[in-house]
């Protein structure tokens, strides 16, 4: 890419410092000193043109923000504190350096809100479509990570906000629930399992159930429905269907033995029998099949 070295210099000049970082991006690897009391949580997530965004519609900065926010949402799902990120960009030939900077600024904007330093990365150009991969490092910082597999029979099932219809725009603009996750996990309640809703409630609930070896009942009348899900009724699917199966809400789904987790909405319970069920208004039960769908633009 013409100007690739300009871009590298520009990115280095943007870098925020952090107590953890002994040597930031610019060498073969960045050097961090991890606090000895902290667990290190790591994961990665990619966003692909035509799957997670549409580069002909969404501005570069919004694409960068989404790529970072999906990783920050994974931190929320474990109740850990985002600490550092690594960024890889596969840039289509023909996109200029200004476009790459906008991607990077979106990533940085999202990271800065959580003091998450970008400590490394690379930009390569190719005769292919735009892809961004971000790896995230989180710290436990005094709060035990909340895994998916810790739910117990009789636990209550909670969600942190209204669901459905994110395709109308929220899938690009959501705010990762890091602060809320930390508040919940260190608060007056016991959290036994947690996940962020990226693939849709019906699918992500299965992840908790499978990891915990249990089942769940969801109260159909209790599921909070986002106004976007009502708006999307136009497509012939009921708002509840959107709330149950649409992906990319990025709210948190978690379980607790406590019946009064007030910052969240109680929607059901964990049971010993495997399988996930929807309990209707008339108390009948219907299977809650995972129907989370993939975006195709």
What is the per-residue binding string for its own copies in 220-259, x denoting contact by CB under 8 A?
Answer: ----------------------------------------
Range 36-42, long-range pairs (CB < 8 A, 24+ positions): 37/142, 38/139, 38/140, 38/141, 39/80, 39/139, 39/140, 39/145, 40/137, 40/138, 40/139, 41/75, 41/78, 41/80, 41/137, 41/138, 41/139, 41/140, 41/145, 42/135, 42/136, 42/137, 42/138
CA angle in degrees (0–180, nearest 5) for 118-67-9: 35
Closest distance between its own copies and the C-beta of residue 78, in Å?
A: 5
Q: Does 278 participate in binding its own copies (rule CB under 8 A)?
A: no
Q: Is 50 left (phi over 0), alpha (psi -120 to 50) or beta?
A: left
Piece of the chain touching its own copies by CB under 8 A; list 86-94, 234-242, 258-266, 281-289: 86-94
Tell me the CA end-to-end span of the chain in Å, nearest whole number: 28
Residues 55 and 129 sit within 8 Å (Cβ to Cβ) = yes
Compute the least distance from the CB of residue 130 to its own copies, in Å.
9
Does the footprint of its own copies cover residue 126 (CB under 8 A)?
A: yes
282 binds its own copies (CB under 8 A): no
**Residue 90 contacts its own copies per CB under 8 A:** yes
- When the beta carbons of 280 and 297 are compared against its own copies, the nearer one is 297
Q: Counting contacts by CB under 8 A, is residue 41 touching its own copies?
A: yes
Is residue 216 at the binding interface for its own copies, with CB under 8 A as the rule? no
Q: Is 46 in the site for its own copies (CB under 8 A)?
A: yes
Closest separation between CB of residue 269 and its own copies, Å? Answer: 22
- Give contact residues for its own copies (rule: CB under 8 A): 22-23, 26-34, 36, 39-46, 48-51, 74-75, 77-78, 80, 84, 86-88, 90, 119-122, 124-129, 131, 133, 135-138, 145, 147-149, 195-196, 211
């Amino acid at each position: 890419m013409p100007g690739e070295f300009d871009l590298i210099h520009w990115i280095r000049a943007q870098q925020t410092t952090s107590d953890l970082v002994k040597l930031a991006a610019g060498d073969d690897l960045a050097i961090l000193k991890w606090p000895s009391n902290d667990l290190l949580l790591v994961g990665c997530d990619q966003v692909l043109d035509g799957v997670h965004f549409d580069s002909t519609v969404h501005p570069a900065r919004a694409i960068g923000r989404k790529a970072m926010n999906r990783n920050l949402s994974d931190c929320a799902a474990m109740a850990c504190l985002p600490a550092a990120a690594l960024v890889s960009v596969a840039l289509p030939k023909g996109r200029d350096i200004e476009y790459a900077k906008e991607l990077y600024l979106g990533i940085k904007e999202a990271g800065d809100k959580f003091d998450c330093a970008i400590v490394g990365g690379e930009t390569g150009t190719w005769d292919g479509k735009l892809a961004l991969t971000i790896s995230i490092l989180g710290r436990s910082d005094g709060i035990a990570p909340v895994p998916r597999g810790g739910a117990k029979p009789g636990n209550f099932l909670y969600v942190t906000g209204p669901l459905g219809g994110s395709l109308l725009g929220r899938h690009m603009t959501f705010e990762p629930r890091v602060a809320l996750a930390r508040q919940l996990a260190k608060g007056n309640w016991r959290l036994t399992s947690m996940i962020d809703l990226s693939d849709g409630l019906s699918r992500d609930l299965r992840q908790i159930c499978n990891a915990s070896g249990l089942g769940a009942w969801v109260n159909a009348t209790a599921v909070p429905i986002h106004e976007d899900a009502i708006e999307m009724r136009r497509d012939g699917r009921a708002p509840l269907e959107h709330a149950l199966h649409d992906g990319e809400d990025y709210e948190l789904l978690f379980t607790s033995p406590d019946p009064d987790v007030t910052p969240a909405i109680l929607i059901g319970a964990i049971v010993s029998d495997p399988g996930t069920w929807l309990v209707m208004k008339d108390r009948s039960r219907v299977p809650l099949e995972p129907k989370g769908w993939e975006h195709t633009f």
